Amino acid sequence: MTNNSNTNPLIFLDGLRGIAAFQVLVGHIRAFVWEGYSVGYQQHPELYSTLDKLMMYFFSSFRFGHQMVVFFFILSGFVIHLRYARQLKNENLANVKFNYPDYLGKRIKRIYPPWLFMMLLAFVIDRLGLWLQLPVYKEVANYPLITSMVHYDHSWQTFFSNLFFLETIYFPIWATLLPVWSLVLEWWIYMLYPLLWFTLRKSVLPATLLVAVCYFACLYSPAGALGFLDPFRGVFLNLPLWWLGVLLAEIYVQRLRISLAWLSPLTVFLFVAVLPTSILQKLGLVSWASTLQGDFMWAVGFSGLVALLLTLQAKGLKLTWLEKLKPLGDMSYTLYIAHYPMAIFLGGLALWWGKGQLPQHSWFIVLSLVLIMPICYLIHLYIEKPFMQQKKHK
């Protein structure tokens, strides 16, 4: 693959997106087709060969799926706002207009084709699993984590509400598409962005203040205090994560005159976040790390990482290894929303094969990856890609 960094200097972001999606994928597969660490491996480590132990520790590194969603928010805010930030930077403000039909049309074409397809495919997979009476679709006594991760609703009311991204707000999530919780948040943030755009035309600071006010109002107001907006509380609480990407775009085009190099040290927050629990306890950060404030710590760290990579690239560092992961990044959206029903189904087969016990090795994880990745690629190729516009990172 040729190096496209000269024409597309931001193409490495696709590679980062692909890595994040793969982290989510492996983490979920691991949860469904392996017996687990505390309820499995720790109970009988002598049953694991040296190779099995090495594989177990390797796949245990894929435990940051939720944090990768935080990274998706930042990249989304950066990419969505970058085009408008350039317009506001380079053109006369009086001539800059927000084309809402064009904006909404692009969001619909980007999101809906794979989503509609997966609503149907997930239903088929779920019904097949239920027809086969795979144990994963009911309470699994030996694996409470799996029980907590498998929920499905096949009612028509839920189906139609999910068409308009009202799941987790007013209705349950359709079928076993649980990762869509983050897609719902992003969709409604997309709907908020045009309103925020009008407040950031001259400067991003008033809009940033508005985002902060909305966040704290939702964080500290009692349930029901926001009236009709109360069900959307989660959207406003996660909006600051997405907005960090907007600020990065403002800094990248130098509408906000802060050096990216100054932000690079923020990467240290990622190292703090992955410290062992024992160290976090001594620092008093254990309870904080699993909250929205913990997500913000990850978001700040990820923002620092992107700033660091952009700074190093500007100094001449080639990010070829990330650019080569662009194909994985291109299919990351499909990979994210499509894998979960398949992982659950394969977990059900693993439980059936083991007569209620999950494998005491990681080879089912490898097999599941071999099965799920090509399926997701085909969905991307024939359902998602025809609707994708050529990305023009500059």
- For residue 299, give the H/E element and its range: helix 292-314
- Judge whether 214 lies within some domain: yes
Mean pLDDT for all residues in the chain: 91
Q: Is residue 237 within 8 Å of 295, Cβ to Cβ? A: no
Query: Which residue range is the domain that position 156 belongs to?
Result: 12-387
**pLDDT score recorded for residue 347:** 96
Please state, as a whole number, how many other Cβ atoms lie within 10 Å of the Cβ of residue 237.
18
Mean pLDDT, residues 89-99: 84
Please give the tally of structural domains in the chain.
1
- Which of 284, 293, 281, 188 has its CA nearest to residue 236? 188
Whole-model pTM: value is 0.92
Report if residue 392 sits inside a domain: no
Of 73, 364, 46, give the one whose Cα is nearest residue 211.
73
Decide if pLDDT at 278 tops 70.
no
Beta bridge mates, 171: 167
At 51-82, the pLDDT tens digits run 999 999 999 999 999 999 999 999 999 999 99
pLDDT digits (tens, 9 = 90+) for 120-161: 999 999 999 999 999 999 877 688 889 899 999 999 999 999
Distance CA 76, CA 72 (A): 6
Give the model's pLDDT for residue 225: 87
For residue 37, CA distances in Å to 53, 89, 151, 178, 353 come to 11, 52, 23, 23, 20
Confidence of residue 389 (pLDDT cuts 50, 70, 90): low
- Among 187, 210, 188, smallest CA distance to 198 is for 210
Query: Any idea what DSSP says for residue 84?
Result: H
How far apart are alpha carbons 381 and 338 in whole angstroms?
13
Is 16 contained in some domain? yes
Domain contains 31: yes
- CA torsion angle 347 352 358 361 (round to 10): -90
Asked if residue 77 belongs to a domain, the reply is yes
- Give a yes or no: residue 373 inside a domain: yes
For the segment 312-328, what is each residue's pLDDT rounded down to a tens digit? Answer: 999 999 999 999 999 99
In this structure, the chain runs to a length of 394
Tokens 């299919």 identify what position? 331
**7 in a domain, yes or no?**
no
- What is the C-alpha R_g of the chain? 22
**What average pLDDT does this structure show over 18-46?**
94
Q: Report the phi/psi class of residue 393: left, alpha or beta, with left for phi > 0 and alpha for psi in -120 to 50.
A: beta
> Residue 49 is encoded by which pair of tokens?
């060969």
**Top-confidence residue, 200 or 242:** 242
Nearest to 288 by CA among 301, 279, 297, 300: 297
Q: What six digits make up the tokens of 163?
A: 């068409």
Is 4 inside a domain boundary? Answer: no
Angle, to 10 degrees, between the axis of helix 50-60 and the axis of helix 363-379? 40
Q: By the 8 A CB rule, do 223 and 56 touch?
A: no
Task: Read off the pLDDT of residues 162-189 as tens digits, 9 standing for 90 and up.
Answer: 999 998 888 999 999 999 999 999 999 9
Phi-psi region of 275 (alpha: psi -120 to 50; beta: other; left: phi over 0): beta
